[in-house]
Amino acid sequence: MNQVLGQGVGATLRLALAGIFLWAWFDKVFGWGFATTADKSWLMGNSPTLGFLKFGTSGPLANIYQALAGNPVIDWLFMMGLLLVGLGLLTGIMMNLTCWGGSLLMLLIYLAAWPPSNNPIIDDHIIYILALLGLNITGAGEWWGLGGWWSQTAWVRKYRWLK
């Protein structure tokens, strides 16, 4: 019973995190009016990273991040990161790359405004990193997802890092 409950919690956490990453991607692409208005959307030719990198960064690394503001390569890397991490979490496929990539993305965002304003060490980005790594360690892609099927494919059996 506890194992089934744990798997359900892990799968729910995986799907909830997928929703966070995918929602951020859709809102920035289409400007659904939550974090991004329609006139500031990526489809309207705006940079999805400009506002945060230019005005939301602080701390000792702020100058580095501010220099990246509005760079189309950074925009594409950020947006593809959000999309691919979200899709990986949604499907449970390629959880190694998904969770490590998502952790890297969260660490980079964390460092952009380091130290956090509400706590000298921990903020939501660190919690996301811990959750992503926990999902990867526990094999949560196999619960309510395609990870079980994916791990049995010839490519994944040959190249275990694709799991």
Q: How far apart are CA 24 and CA 31, in angstroms?
A: 10
What local confidence, expressed as pLDDT, does residue 1 receive?
61
Contacts of 98 (CB under 8 A, 6+ apart): 84, 85, 88, 89, 132, 136, 141
**Beta carbons of 124 and 110 less than 8 angstroms apart:** no
| Mean pLDDT score across all residues of the chain | 92
SS3 of the chain: CHHHHHHHHHHHHHHHHHHHHHHHHHHHHHCCCCCCCHHHCCCCCCCCCHHHHHHHCCCCCHHHHHHHCCCHHHHHHHHHHHHHHHHHHHHCCCHHHHHHHHHHHHHHHHHHCCCCCCCCCCCHHHHHHHHHHHHHHHCHHHCCCCHHHHHCCHHHHHCHHHC
2 has pLDDT over 90: no
Rounded to whole angstroms, what are the CA distances from 53 to 61, 73, 113, 115?
11, 14, 9, 15
Residue with the larger pLDDT of the pair 123 and 104: 104
Using pLDDT thresholds of 50, 70 and 90, give the confidence band for residue 99: very high
pLDDT at residue number 125: 94
Q: How confident is the model at residue 6 (pLDDT cuts 50, 70, 90)?
A: confident
Q: What is the pLDDT of residue 78?
A: 97
Q: How far is CA 7 from CA 95, 145, 151, in A?
A: 15, 11, 17
Per-residue pLDDT, averaged over 44-48, amounts to: 94
- Inform me whether the pLDDT recorded for 65 exceeds 70: yes
Q: For residues 66-80, give the mean pLDDT.
A: 96
Tens digits of residue pLDDT in 127-148? 999 999 999 999 888 888 888 8
Say how far apart CA 68 and CA 47 lie, in whole Å. Answer: 11
The reported pLDDT for the residue numbered 73 is 97
Which amino acid belongs to residue 50?
Answer: L
Q: Would the pLDDT of 4 be above 80?
A: no
Q: How confident is the model at residue 12 (pLDDT cuts 50, 70, 90)?
A: very high
Report whether pLDDT(31) > 90.
yes
